[in-house]
Amino acid sequence: MRVNPASIAFDIDSVIADTMQLFLDIARDHYRIDTIRYEDFTTYDLNECLDLDEAVITDIIDRIQQGRYVSRLKPIKGAPEGLVKVGQVASPVLFVTARPHPGPIDQWFRSTVALAPACFEIVATGSYERKISVLREKGVDCFVEDRLETCYELQAAGITPILFKQPWNRRPHPFMEVEDWNELECLLGIR
């Protein structure tokens, strides 16, 4: 199956940006917690899968969203290169995030992905539920997402979800999924 690059949009965290690795880095650097691993993120609700105080989890997430961290936020392997390829055949490339504001992620994106500012748009919705209205408004048919619960909501709204495989979405599901950016590029016919 092929997906038209002009009909797709992307989540940012854990699809483009390796946000969970940054979570681990902040836990280590700020809280001296080095006992958790990426594979320990078995649910999207970190309070369910990590043996950490809720206040610590909340503070780390706030630091990520506000850009208050020393560690470097890295891209998911292959994402910057893949997005340049998408931008060459479909522009502007749309990114829809549940973050409350684009702020630091917009700045990070501009310094990490070699797309001209006119070739992409980042929309911060503030919640997972609001992603659907933005995608409908923009005429998007497919959305690459890592949160399994959002995929069900997308499907119910008539938007085809493509699940980006992560440890927290390994339950049975009916959705098309990609292992990495190589598979995503093949699906989009830009490999």
Give pTM, 2 decimals. 0.94
pLDDT at 124 over 90: yes
What phi-psi label fits residue 172: left (phi over 0), alpha (psi between -120 and 50 degrees) or beta? beta
Same domain for 89 and 174, yes or no, is yes
Cross-strand bridge partners of residue 75 = 17
Same domain for 43 and 126, yes or no, is no
CATH code of the domain in which 111 resides: 3.40.50.1000
Same domain for 108 and 156, yes or no, is yes
Same domain for 130 and 89, yes or no, is yes
pLDDT in tens, 93-119: 999 999 998 889 999 999 999 999 999
* Structural domain span for residue 128: 5-18+75-188
Same domain for 28 and 122, yes or no, is no
Helices (H), ranges, 32-180: 46-49, 54-66, 79-89, 103-112, 131-137, 148-156
**Contact assessment for residue 165 and residue 184, using Cβ atoms and an 8 Å cutoff:** no
